[in-house]
Chains A and B, each alone.
Chain A
Amino acid sequence: MKIDANKAAPLAMKVKLKLKHPLIKRMLYYKYFYILIAPAIVLYILFSYIPLYGTILAFKDFNFAKGILHSPWTGRHGFQHFYDLLSEDGFRKAFWNTIVISLGRIIFEFPIPIALAFLINEIRSSVFKKIAQTLFTFPHFISWVVVAGIFFNLLADAGVLNQIIVALGGEKINLLTQPGTFRGLLFATNAWKEAGWSTIIYLAAISGVNPQLYEAAIVDGANRFQLMRYITWPALKSVIGVLLILQIANSFSYGFDQIFNLYNAAVFDVSDTIDTYIYRRTFISGLDFGSSTAIGLFKALISLILMYMANFFVTRSTGKGLY
């Protein structure tokens, strides 16, 4: 086939024009940066985006011989797995517990590292500051299995806590098996373990504040509380906002290790989260891929909605959000 030179010319012109497009130009200018980011993009596509097609399993009855794409759709327009889950008493309870425990974490646990960062920041002696930080950070590195063992021993019938109570003339209690106290115990133990670790980010943000601001304020006669309120707090606000958004987005998947190691039959009713419930249920009846994908999708959807909401409110109140 002969190519008509006259016709080919405008095409070349067009390509030339295309290359002149400002975005293309900019991309070509920064081509090495694009090459550097390529592996990350490839990884994302391979491991995060391509597997997304598997989520259609949430609407299918998985058949081993037919594979994901050819398995039949479930009843109720593909939503059978969701109906089944939501009709389960245990799942509804677990869903409710997940919400209550997440809220509790935000109300009780979230502010602790912030307060701790303020306090550590106020320590004058740098040696003592380092010691305090190490002490608070240390528990983060112990696994929940070990931490649970420690608390079981402290809180057991013959444990230290009960020995103190009995010595003071009180009645023995077992915080681990009382539905009324168990959630509080979850918040307290997690705060003890993780607060120091979360403080690091806030301390880093505080250390980024320009010291001249403090000096100027001191010259103007500000006391320590005023320094905290008018300089440190505004510097921390946006970091707190971002971390709050992340915590809310993660709240449906957070804390399996902790709860799994601490809970027991006596407190299932108040501590069973979606994750622990599903874990136990697979041992009772075995879950098929369809149901477990449906649960995953369900959790992801709720996390997404929560993240949007959190971001909206944080952006409204601090002027800065995630995006």
Chain B
Amino acid sequence: MEKTKRKARRLGMLTVAVLLVAAVFSGCSSNNNGKEENGNAAAQTETDTQADSSNTTDTTNTSTNKAETETPADPLAEHMDISIAMWGIGDALPDGVEDPVLDAISKKLNITIKPVNVTWDDYAQKIQVWAASDQLPDLFAIDAVTSPNLTSWATQGIIHQLPDDLSAYPTLAKMMEGPDFQAYKFPLGDPNGKFFSIPRPNFRDANLNANSHGIIIRKDWMQNVGIAKAPETFDEFIALMKAFAEKDPDQNGKKDTVGLTAYSPAWLPYLMQAYEPGLMGGVSTWIRNNGQWIPSFTTDRATEGVKAIKKLYDEGGLDKDIATIKGSEGIDKFASGIAGAYAHDTVPGTLLQIKTKYEQLNPGKKFEDAFMIMPPLKNVDGNYYRFYDTGIWSESYINAKADDAKVDRILRLFDFLLSEEGFNLTHFGIEGVDYVKQGDKIVMVDQKDDTGNALVLSSKYPFMKINYFAEWSGTSSATNPTLPLTLRNMSKENLDNLLANAKTADTDLRLNFIDYPSRAKANEKFDVDLIKVILSKDAEKTWKDMTQAYLADNYDTIIKEFNAKTKELGINP
């Protein structure tokens, strides 16, 4: 009796142990199903000795994986699965949810999109790991153009070169011919280089990017503090911000307001337009100076600008909590009437966020009566300056292992999404159901959700959550019928004024893409340094010490190398 008990106990232990071991091993078994690799003619790769493990990115379900030698009559005849990693694609293609927009795309191109989810927090890490472990999806989005990754990927056969001839994809080809796109060729800075990615523009022309940095102010508060016109010089700006902080602009009898706040400290450098325009975007751009390129943080005007912003802070015109503002705090402060000015961008989408919050808190009042975009401040040299930088952020890369047929299909997908038809589908929904065309104007059909509010289209068509697949929303913000016309006009008037009257810093956009030995050491971050300086006791000394340290540490070398490289490429200062 005792014996059988013991036996049973032993048997039980044994079973548990065996099960545990089995569980461990089943967890890390790989489902190798002998995928063939395709030669990538473009990248000269050494053969990969690693075993090819395919898990998330089992690419094709077609029997032939060899590149087609004879072109079939219909390039879309064969059905394909395309695995794609892009921010939030998991939410945009949820399992088992009907999505007519996605269906239309799939049908049109005869593809099935296999989402490989990445998020804003982990995308860079995940893609790097996949690249290292040979598990990249067919297509992935990342901002890698100026990182060391691009060089390794392009030279080590990780990403696919795009075909030289893009004539089969007219809309895409037209975009890629734009002047700002040429800089994306590899090797960087080489006009004869090859495209290894499809850049994702927010604006196809850098000049249209001027609304990406700006300041919005309360014009009703200006009247309340007795200042009739918008500030022109930096001193007038300081005076206005002080008045916002001290003269009870909201007329509630309490001293509970501040002058300028921001979306985050990174937006404060816009104020440098009055001193050193090369620093307006928060990074130190290269500018012309006596026949060579120099980083703009080294100029005397930069020092003057830093001192001026420090003065704004000391005199109480700047939000005292500027250093710790995160998330939506800044926009909340501004929309709820705590701050009188707000540094961020001035695109219609941002105006709409402020409008929505303001009108919720102040029923019966209109955003357009109380807010305005602040015109540019006059620079010490008498000119006006606007923010100027490439309007492209991030790129899409194709896995080197994709065969020619798959590359063709991916390019066709981009071509479609960039076309008017594809754009309307992914932004406004199904024609006749969600919008109607009146001539060349798009008119949205009013739709309500279950709670009686205006319907958000992406809840009906989840794919719209990644309608930035080929392009960010900037390109369409001026004509997007889902944004109120008043806000689009406000933003457009500001842009027209800037383009007509404001200059750009004396730079060359190709400089962003120049590769030189010490590039990784060029780690000056003006937005961070500016905060350190304005919160220090002696701004001028702190700033001078900082810039001296930068020069002594790396920048003396960086400036030499950079100028040597630009000479070589013929980008002359």
Report A's interface with B, CB cutoff 8 A: 32, 35-36, 38-39, 42-43, 46, 62-67, 70, 89-90, 152, 156-158, 172, 174, 176-177, 264-266, 268-269, 281-282, 284-286, 288-289
* A286 surroundings in chain B (CB, below 8 A): 124, 144, 147-149, 520
Contacts A39-B24, A157-B320 given: A285-B520 contact, CB under 8 Å? yes
Q: Are A64 and B531 in contact (CB under 8 A)?
A: no
Q: Are B324 and A176 in contact (CB under 8 A)?
A: yes
Q: Are A67 and B49 in contact (CB under 8 A)?
A: yes
Q: Are A42 and B21 in contact (CB under 8 A)?
A: yes
B16 in the interface (beta carbon within 8 A) = yes
How far is A63 from B49 in the complex, measured between Cα atoms in Å? 12
Q: Are B24 and A46 in contact (CB under 8 A)?
A: yes
A-B contact pairs, 15 of them (CB 8 A): A32-B10, A35-B17, A39-B17, A42-B24, A64-B131, A65-B157, A90-B523, A176-B323, A177-B535, A264-B323, A266-B531, A268-B532, A285-B519, A285-B520, A288-B148
Report B's interface with A, CB cutoff 8 A: 10, 13-14, 16-17, 20-21, 23-25, 28, 45-46, 48-50, 124, 128, 131-132, 144, 147-149, 152-153, 156-158, 256, 258, 265, 319-321, 323-324, 519-523, 525, 527-532, 535, 549, 553
* B535 surroundings in chain A (CB, below 8 A): 177, 266
Q: How far is the CB of B50 from chain A (nearest CB, A)?
A: 5
Q: Are B17 and A36 in contact (CB under 8 A)?
A: yes
* B319 surroundings in chain A (CB, below 8 A): 157
* B265 surroundings in chain A (CB, below 8 A): 264-265
Q: How far is the CB of A69 from chain B (nearest CB, A)?
A: 8
* A288 surroundings in chain B (CB, below 8 A): 148, 152
How far is A78 from B46 in the complex, measured between Cα atoms in Å? 23
Contacts A42-B24, A266-B532, A284-B523 given: A65-B158 contact, CB under 8 Å? yes
The chain B residue sitting closest to A282, CB to CB, is B124
- Considering residues B520, B521, B522, which has the most beta carbons from chain A within 10 angstroms of its beta carbon? B520
**Given A38-B20, A265-B529, A265-B531: 4 more A-B contacts, CB < 8 Å:** A35-B17, A264-B265, A266-B532, A286-B124
Q: Are A32 and B549 in contact (CB under 8 A)?
A: no
* B553 surroundings in chain A (CB, below 8 A): 89
How far is A285 from B158 in the complex, measured between Cα atoms in Å? 20
Q: How far is the CB of A323 from chain B (nearest CB, A)?
A: 27
Contacts A46-B24, A282-B124 given: A174-B157 contact, CB under 8 Å? no
Q: How far is the CB of A12 from chain B (nearest CB, A)?
A: 28
* A35 surroundings in chain B (CB, below 8 A): 13-14, 17
Q: Are B17 and A156 in contact (CB under 8 A)?
A: no
Q: How far is the CB of B548 from chain A (nearest CB, A)?
A: 12
How far is A68 from B456 in the complex, measured between Cα atoms in Å? 48
Contacts A265-B531, A268-B528 given: A66-B323 contact, CB under 8 Å? no
* A64 surroundings in chain B (CB, below 8 A): 131-132, 152-153, 156-158
Q: Are A38 and B21 in contact (CB under 8 A)?
A: yes
How far is A254 from B281 in the complex, measured between Cα atoms in Å? 34
How far is A172 from B320 in the complex, measured between Cα atoms in Å? 10
Q: Are A265 and B528 in contact (CB under 8 A)?
A: yes
Q: Are B156 and A65 in contact (CB under 8 A)?
A: yes
Q: Are B147 and A285 in contact (CB under 8 A)?
A: yes
The chain B residue sitting closest to A63, CB to CB, is B156
Q: How far is the CB of A306 from chain B (nearest CB, A)?
A: 28
How far is A67 from B320 in the complex, measured between Cα atoms in Å? 51
How far is A65 from B520 in the complex, measured between Cα atoms in Å? 22
The chain A residue sitting closest to B133, CB to CB, is A67
* A38 surroundings in chain B (CB, below 8 A): 17, 20-21
The chain B residue sitting closest to A35, CB to CB, is B17
The chain A residue sitting closest to B550, CB to CB, is A89
Q: How far is the CB of B434 from chain A (nearest CB, A)?
A: 37
A177: contacting residue among B20, B23, B152, B323, CB under 8 A: B323
* A266 surroundings in chain B (CB, below 8 A): 323, 531-532, 535
Q: How far is the CB of A50 from chain B (nearest CB, A)?
A: 10
The chain B residue sitting closest to A286, CB to CB, is B147
